[in-house]
Amino acid sequence: MLFDSNYLTQDERNRYSRHILLDEIREKGQLKLKQASVLVVGAGGLGVPVLQYLVAAGVGKIGIVDDDVVEESNLQRQVLYSTAHIGKKKADVAAKNLFLLNPNIQYQSFLEKIHSDNAFEIVNDYNIIVDGTDNFPARYLLNDLCVKLDKTLVSGAIFKFEGQIGVFNHLMNDGKRSGTYRCLFPQAPSADDSPDCATTGVMGIVPGLIGMMQAAEVVKLITGVGKLLVNELLLIDIKENSYRNLSFHRDEKAAAKIKNEPLSSSEDYKFFCSSNEVVSYDIAEISSKELKRRIKAKEDFQLIDVREPSEHELINIGGELMPMNDIFFHTHKINKQKPVILYCKVGERSEWVIRQLQDKYGFNNLYNLKGGMRAFLADGN
């Protein structure tokens, strides 16, 4: 099939007629969609709905990056695949099924994992990059690539009943670019603090919802319609029907460093995201002895456990349970008028949470339990 991106055929006008009826899109906007190219990295829980809706919307060129095969456990949420596809390459199956949905699209499949050695070649030919991955090394790699190549990154992530969406490094009307993923998350959580859905589970509808919203941001980016999620992260909890926006700003120094330095190796990204090294951001600490003194003296403070419910139920030192992946939905429950002490197992998760609360929500009364609950329990005094 020959693709001419300079005009819409009559078949395309019929197919996209409900778009064209919209005053904000019309034929001009639909032509922009046809002329656009989008790379979707990850054809799993997030990537599947992104691909389905972008293809249905008429995005002219779609790239699919995934080296994985379809597994039976994928079918609970990755609705582009069926039982007959188990054991087959996702990117191949996705391209074939998407062609049946819309043959007017140019498809390109990459049956490989994206890494530092192949990333430039894969990403370079696409206008917009969609992150549908499930690991932090890939997220930071895609962020850094987009900064280097001046491309917009549409990122999504899921956890149990929750999800998040953001648009990073977008060129805005004032000629400046919006904040990057590193501006929001300068330090990756450790592997222990970032379990995937294979470990913790996920409600199958959540990636569908988040992926569709990623697709919506892409369509808005291309057509110029509506308000984009730039310099803010949308947090959604379907269990609580909670929607919150986390604002942040671009760190020009950090972006310039990414832009000017060579791209890190894939091993470096893995090390960065698994390192137990804690970066200091002027986090106030409190020792286990001091916390015990305050408890004994019945001083007025708030104690928060940021571990998971299963950990809290097994053993805890009191306080309110606000898991690190939920706490940003409940910042209104954190007291700003008295000292607030946060703890986890060894102090790393709670330090990361405090850093985010200070930087994004303006808290200045937070203390991290040094050494976490382990130190508290080991200190017999």
Residue 276 contacts residue 190 (beta carbons within 8 Å): yes
SS (H, E, C) the chain: CCCCCCCCCHHHHHHCHHHHCCCCCHHHHHHHHHHCEEEEECCCCCHHHHHHHHHHHCCCEEEEECCCECCHHHHHCCCCCCHHHCCCEHHHHHHHHHHHHCCCCEEEEECCCCCCCCHHHHHCCCCEEEECCCCHHHHHHHHHHHHHHCCEEEEEEEEECEEEEEEECCECCCCCECCCHHHHCCCCCCHHHCCCHHHHCECCHHHHHHHHHHHHHHHHHHHCCCCCCECEEEEEECCCCEEEEEECCCCHHHHHHHHHCCCCCHHHHHHHHHCCCCCCCCCCEECHHHHHHHHHCCCCCEEEECCCHHHHHHCCCCCEECCCCCHHHCHHHCCCCCCEEEECCCCHHHHHHHHHHHHHHCCCCEEEECCHHHHHHHCCC
**Non-local CB neighbours of 53 within 8 Å, separated by 6+ positions:** 211, 212, 215, 216, 219
φ/ψ (deg, to 5) at 331: -60, -25
At 184-216, the pLDDT tens digits run: 887 776 555 555 665 567 889 999 999 999 999
Q: What is the pLDDT of residue 281?
A: 46
Confidence (pTM): 0.73
pLDDT at residue 126 is higher than 90? yes
pLDDT at residue 141 is higher than 70? yes
- More confidently predicted of 155 and 274: 155
**Non-local CB neighbours of 100 within 8 Å, separated by 6+ positions:** none
Domains along the sequence of the chain with CATH: 36-274 (3.40.50.720), 285-378 (3.40.250.10)
At 319-370, the pLDDT tens digits run: 999 998 789 888 999 999 999 999 998 898 899 899 889 888 889 999 999 9
